[in-house]
Amino acid sequence: MTHGRFVVVPAAYVFLLRDGASGPEVLLQLRQHTGYMDDHWAAAAAGHVEKGETAYDAARREALEEIGVTDLDLSFVTAMQRTRGGEPIDERIDFFFTARSWSGEPRIVEPAKAADLAWFPLDALPDPVVPHELAVLDGLRSGTATAYSTFGFQE
């Protein structure tokens, strides 16, 4: 059915956090062979929300599928409305969560898609980080993260 509206693609992201020697640390994966932002650091677990699934359920599923952890204590950070100029596939709503506790040892479950998995201090992130994810990490670091955020729109 064509109704003239654009399609919004929802995704869920999980930033695992822990206390490090010099402050909070975040677990990031180095993307490879995905076709999107390869060779960039990104959330350890992220992916599309599937039909009939909540963003919380998607976050838990992606954490199991990508880094092998369960029982995440998720905290909602922000819903980010994102675009890259208005192409239909680029209208996005991203739900970002953090978790400070979980079961299992994080590991690369999909080695074809992740070249590395490492902990980084929030105030010393690697370069490059996927840009819209970096905006959320900056908000976490500075304490300025808000429940609703945007990325890619003209100010």
In a domain, 76, yes or no: yes
pLDDT-above-70 percentage for the chain: 92
In a domain, 104, yes or no: yes
Range of the domain at 80: 9-151
- Where is pLDDT greater, at 83 or 134? 134
SS (H, E, C) the chain: CCCCCCCCEEEEEEEEEEEECCEEEEEEEEECCCCCCCCCEEECEEEECCCCCCHHHHHHHHHHHHHCCECCCEEEEEEEEECCCCCHHHCEEEEEEEECCCECCCCCCCCCCEEEEEEEECCCCCCCECHHHHHHHHHHHHCCCCCEEEECCCC
Question: Is it the case that residue 153 has pLDDT exceeding 90?
Answer: no
Residue 3 placed within a domain: no
Q: What is the CATH number of the domain that holds 29?
A: 3.90.79.10
Residue 87 included in any domain: yes
The pTM of this model reads 0.92
Give the count of domains, the chain. Answer: 1
Comparing 43-57, 65-79, 87-101, 106-120, the range with the smallest average pLDDT is 87-101
Inform me whether the pLDDT recorded for 146 exceeds 60. Answer: yes
State the pLDDT at residue 4. Answer: 61
In-domain check, residue 83: yes
